[in-house]
Amino acid sequence: MFSLYILILISLLVAAGAFGLYIWAVKTGQFEDLEETKYQVFDEDDEVPPGSHHGTKTK
Amino acid sequence: MQKGSHFYCDHCSKLTPEKKLTKTPVNGLERHFCCPGCELSFKILKQVGYDDFYNLQRKELGLSEERGAVILSEEEQIRMDSLYSEFVQGSGAIKLVYLKIEKIHCAACVFANEEIIRKLPGVLEFNINPGTHRSKIRWDNRLITLADILNTIANIGYYAYPFHPSKAKPTLDAETKDLTMRLGASALISMNVMLLAIGLYAGYFQGIDPQVRSFLQWINMIMTIPGVFFAGKPILQGAWYNIKTRNPGMDLLIAIGTLSAFFLSVWHVITGVGETYFDTANMLIFFILLGRYVESKAKQKILKETDKYDDYRVDTVTKIQDGIRINSGIDDVGKGDILEFYPGDILPVDGVIIEGTSAFDESVLTGESIPRQKNVGDQVISGSRNLNETFKMQVTSVGDGTIFSKVLELIEDSQLSKSPISRLVDKVSARFIYLILLFAAGSFFLWYVTSGMAVAFPIAISVLVIACPCALGIATPMAILVGTGESLKRGILIKNGEVLEELVKVDQVVFDKTGTLTTGIMKLIELHELAEKHVPEGLYSALAHAETEVYHPVARAIRTHFFATTGKYEPYSDFESHSGKGITFKTLNHSVAAGNVKLMEDFQIDFSGNLNLIKKIAESGHVPVLVSVDGELISILEIADEIRPEAKETLKKLAELKIPVKILSGDRKENVSQLAKALGLTQEQVQGELSPEEKADEIRKLIDSGKTVMMIGDGVNDAPALSLAQVGISMGEGSQISLDSSGVVLLNNSLPSVLKSIYFARITYGKIRQNLFWALVYNVVMIPLGALGVLIPVYAALAMSLSSISVVLNSLFLRRTVSSTLRRMGY
């Protein structure tokens, strides 16, 4: 029976950790715009790392 | 305060018969009120120490004062002025500001705020948009300051701050974020509590070690504390303000349900006897938050569409000063300045082109994607985009005076507005809540007597939760938000909910003629060449050129026609304009005269051989222009105001809707009856030679005969008739758009929009009725189920949220209905 107490307490800790992660996600705005994210690959204005010629902009 | 058997209401000073009066002692004095709303407001004002305003108010009404009138300290005035000068509009004593009010989350909140603030002396107008929580307030600065208004709002439990409607970013964001956080917390806690609760249920049936049972209960209790007090904080807060303002709302019902489940369970845990309902408390909060989350996301989505206007703000322009181009901030641009715009530029001000020509995309205002070509002398409007050429223009209006700003303000207002039906719903649901509290108490009592606590308690909670009239509260505002948004996308601005309701009822449409059924632009429709006469080459090109010197619709018609057909301007000389008659000039050694009969008489040119033709043209309502070369009549130009191509189709569709049509015009009777013939109307349906006042009289007659009249006219001379009709629609372009006198503004100046506005209103109104119907059915069916104990509290909460969500989704479906209806109508 003792293991039950331990396991429940551990699960609570895990849940608390998950909740912390969730708070972080909300605070950093991960849920703000679920719609736009999928179009981000088409965004041209991404910063291009210097020297990478795949990303060279053609205008 | 007495007058005969009537008393003045101590709050609003309305004279009220004694038997209708509410008498309540306040601070030891007996007070009289005309309604409970006044009573509530009076007590709140008394409590926060604003009752001095009553004295001021009485003084104005010529009643005796109780104490000296309130005088604002100079310091306070200055503080207010500097702090809010950025937001407050209006230069006189009457001020206007837009407020965003936080912590509003139901119809009753809106109701409470509006009731209390509107009754403050000096507040002239106060409307809250239940969708966006934005409000517009207009007040008399001599009677009340903004600080007082804000304080009063704070005192009834809400937080208001001014914002600039056109500069504001979507303000829902912070609230949605907060809601997301609490919803997630509630979900996580509910799941865990549920999990352990299943163990407890199993133990209830199969037996369980008392020690384990107690342990599980304790863990559940600890988890539920943040579940109720952190996740459920907005609900509890709302409930507290409900109590404070004595304006019960849905929060109160949910809070009573949750808290009683929680505290009863805590009692059972501590005493070790009885079951716990922690899962119920958590799930209640979870489902309510879920419903609100969906609602707030939906609103965000709709509001995003109006956000596009933010992209049309411009900070700097190129100004031409003493022939030099300088970069200038938009605030430094004044009326009369010369600005230069390059392709791709967005115009921040209205003006007239003085040099160059270009195409303009005005789609942001009109919804019309086809660019419009504009030349020197044409008006260009703010918010349009210069597409292909560089041009110079002279500014005609800046800042808040521009068409773009005015339209933005109207859009904001239209979203803030409420329809009479939603006001009624607000009032009813506020009363409804008392009934529910009573009903829940009643069912608790009955079940307690018959079956004991364990049965009665969950049932009472179920009733409280399920009876929540929140779906009822959002039914109307949601539909209006979507409906006005959809019509706006198509260039139709419906000013407010009241207009929307009138639009549905329209059973008489009245058109003006010129500029409404006709384009208002003169066109050369026929060139009658007098066969035996010789026309010198290049004559018409020279005529077109010469007419550029005259600003007259007829001159414009001639110029446009011949420039288009000959493709060039020929030189001319010795130009002379004869006011009201025509022009004369010389070209290629010929002397030319173009004008009316009077001009010909002046120059003794013989036109007697063509009298019949001239007469015929005049009789059909068109304008004859006689052209002579070297004293000899060579041709007659027939010029007419063209009937809009869509006019006939629109009238036909109105007939299909069985809405009778009338034409009232100031034009000559022959012209009007000519138009009626062309459009297939009977002569009884048209009236000509009416002054603006006579038009208004006609409208009044129609209204008196019980009709709901829609008047479509140009804003300038039809203004009295437009503002008299229940629905006034002004047609016209640019500055001609009369924004004030009409309830519906057609930003795209197209006649079918008249028809579309009726469709929009009917569809939206139908949706409102549908929403209200379902919300009512839900309450009527579910309350008995709850009271009979069929539904456990968790399902009650789920059902309640689903009913709100279904109203939201149903409103969103409106978009699809609008598109498909328009498609079916052939638009």
* Contact across the interface for B184 and A22, Cβ inside 8 Å: yes
Decide if B177 and A32 are in contact by the 8 Å CB cutoff: yes
- Of B177, B211, B219, nearest to A26 by CB-CB distance is B177
Type of residue at B354: I
Residue from B169, B171, B179, B188 whose CB has the most chain A CBs within 10 Å, to mutate: B188
CA gap B43, B247 in Å, rounded: 13
Residue of B nearest to A30 (CA): B177
Cβ of B177 and A29 within 8 Å? yes
Residues of B engaging A, defined by a Cβ cutoff of 8 Å: 173, 176-177, 180-181, 184-185, 188, 192, 196, 209, 211-212, 215-216, 219, 223
Q: Token digits for B757?
A: 């506005």
Question: B773 Cβ partners below 8 Å, 6+ apart?
Answer: none
Residues of A whose CB is below 8 A from B224 = none
List average pLDDT for each run of 10 residues in chain B, which is 827 residues long: 56 62 64 63 60 54 39 49 60 76 68 80 80 77 78 75 54 73 91 87 84 90 93 89 77 85 89 82 84 75 64 77 80 83 84 85 69 80 83 84 76 64 72 84 91 84 79 78 81 80 88 78 79 74 80 78 78 80 83 85 81 79 82 84 82 87 80 80 82 83 90 73 82 56 76 87 89 86 86 78 83 85 77
pLDDT at A56: 43
Q: Which of A3, A13, A22, A28 to mutate to test binding with chain B, by most B CBs within 10 Å of its CB?
A: A22
Q: Look at B209 and A19 and tell me if their CB atoms are within 8 Å.
A: no
3-state SS assignment for residue A16: helix
What residues are paired with B359 via a beta bridge?
A: B373
DSSP B279-293: HHHHHHHHHHHHHHH
* A8 interaction partners in chain B (CB closer than 8 Å): 196, 215-216, 219
B223 contacts in A (CB within 8 Å)? Answer: 12
Distance between CA atoms of residues B578 and B576, nearest Å: 6
Amino acid symbol at B70: V
**Which residues on chain B are in Cβ contact (under 8 Å) with A19?**
184-185, 188
In this structure, is the dihedral angle defined by the CA atoms of residues B260, B261, B263 and B269, taken in order, positive or negative? Answer: positive
Chain B environment of A29 (Cβ under 8 Å): 177
Using an 8 Å CB-CB cutoff, list chain B residues near A4: 212
3-class secondary-structure state, position B157: coil
CB pairs under 8 A between A and B: 37
Residue among B547, B549, B582, B544 at smallest CA distance from B564: B544
Of B687, B661, B821, B691, nearest to B757 by C-alpha is: B821
CA distances from B366 to B371, B403, B759 (A): 11, 12, 18
Burial class, A17, CB count within 10 angstroms (exposed 0-12 / middle 13-18 / buried 19+): exposed
Mind telling me how many Å the CA of B352 is from chain A's nearest CA? 35
Which residues of chain A from 9 to 38 reach within 8 Å of chain B, CB to CB?
A: 11-12, 15, 18-19, 22-23, 26-27, 29, 31-32
Determine, for residues B177 and A23 on separate chains, whether the beta-carbon distance falls below 8 Å: no
Q: Which residues of B are catalytic?
A: 512
Distance (Å) from the C-alpha of residue A51 to the closest C-alpha of chain B?
33
C-beta atoms of A26 and B196 within 8 A: no
Helix (H) or strand (E) holding B320: strand B316-321
Sheet arrangement for strand B590-595 = B518-529, B632-643, B623-629, B590-595, B582-587, B573-578
Contact A18 B223 (CB under 8 A): no
* C-beta separation of B130 from B176 below 8 A: no
Which tokens belong to B711?
């008047």
Q: Report yes or no: B664 and B512 within 8 Å, Cβ to Cβ.
A: yes
Provide, as residue numbers in chain A, all residues whose Cβ is less than 8 Å from the Cβ of B216: 8
Asked whether the CA dihedral B774, B779, B785, B791 is positive or negative, the reply is positive
Per-residue burial over B440-454, b = 16 or more CB atoms within 10 Å of its CB, e = otherwise? beebbeebbeeeeee
A1, A18, A31 member nearest B212 (Cβ):
A1
- Comparing CB atoms, the residue among B180, B188, B212 nearest residue A15 is B188
What are the start-end ranges of the H helices in B622-665?
647-656
Residue B162: φ, ψ to 5°:
-75, 150
Q: Report the distance separating Cα B336 and Cα B551, nearest Å.
A: 20
Please report residues of B whose CB lies closer than 8 A to that of A11: 192
Q: Alpha helices, DSSP H only, in B490-534?
A: 497-505
Dump the DSSP string for B430-458: HHHHHHHHHHHHHHHHHHHHHH-HHHHHH
Decide if A22 and B173 are in contact by the 8 Å CB cutoff: no
- Whose tokens are 């079951």? That residue is B275
Q: Which residues contact B48 (CB under 8 A, 6 or more apart)?
A: B151, B152, B155
Instruction: Give, in order, the Cα–Cα distances in Å from B487 to each of B422, B477, B494.
Output: 20, 15, 8
Chain-chain contact of B188 with A5 (C-beta, under 8 angstroms): no
Residues 6+ apart with CB under 8 A from B397: B335, B349, B350, B403, B735
Chain A environment of B219 (Cβ under 8 Å): 8, 12
C-alpha distance from A17 to closest chain B C-alpha (Å): 11
Q: Which amino acid is at B467?
A: A
CA distance A47 to chain B (A): 23
Q: What is d(CA B333, CA B395) in angstroms, rounded to the nearest whole number?
A: 8
Backbone angles phi, psi at B695, to 5 degrees: -60, -45
Provide the β-strand partners of residue B627: B594, B635
The half-sphere exposure of B635 on its side-chain side, counting CA atoms within 13 A, is: 17
Q: Is B102 helix (H, G, I), strand (E, B) or coil?
A: strand
Residue of A nearest to B184 (CA): A22
Nearest-angstrom CA–CA distance, B574 and B587: 9
Q: What is the DSSP letter of A32?
A: S
Q: Are B184 and A26 in contact (CB < 8 Å)?
A: yes
As given in the structure block, the two tokens for residue B569 are: 């301007």
Taking phi over 0 as left and psi of -120 to 50 as alpha, with beta for the rest, A55 belongs to: alpha
List the beta bridge partners of residue B353: B393
The answer to whether A29 contacts B185, with C-beta atoms less than 8 Å apart, is no
- Rounded CA-CA distance B812/B809 in Å is 5
In the Cβ-directed half-sphere of B694, how many Cα atoms lie within 13 Å?
Answer: 11
- Which one, of A4, A12, A15, A6, lies nearest residue B212 by Cα? A4
> Could A5 and B196 be called an inter-chain contact, meaning their C-beta atoms sit closer than 8 Å?
no
Closest alpha carbon within chain B to A9 = B219
Q: B824 is written with which tokens?
A: 């079916």
The DSSP call for residue B513 is: I
Instruction: Compute the nearest-CA separation of B46 from chain A (Å).
Output: 42
Q: Note whether A12 contacts B192, CB cutoff 8 Å.
A: yes
CB contact under 8 A, B180 and A26: yes
Chain A nearest-CA distance from B180, in A, is 7
Element (H, E) at B539: helix B539-547
Structural tokens at position B661: 């049509």
Chain B interface, mutation test: which of A19, A23, A24, most B Cβ atoms within 10 Å? Answer: A19
Q: How many Cα atoms within 13 Å fall on the side-chain side of residue A56?
A: 5
Asked if the Cβ–Cβ distance from B215 to A5 is below 8 Å, we say yes
Which residue in chain B has the smallest CA separation from A34? B297
Question: How is B730-744 classified by DSSP, letter by letter?
Answer: EE--GGG--TTT-SE
Question: Can you say whether the dihedral through the CA atoms of A16, A17, A22, A23 is positive or negative?
Answer: positive
By CA distance, what is B191's nearest residue in A? Answer: A15
Residue type, B423: R
Closest Cβ–Cβ partner in B181, B188, B215 for A18: B188
Are the Cβ atoms of B177 and A15 closer than 8 angstroms?
no
Phi and psi based region of residue B399 (left: phi greater than 0; alpha: psi -120 to 50; beta: remaining): left
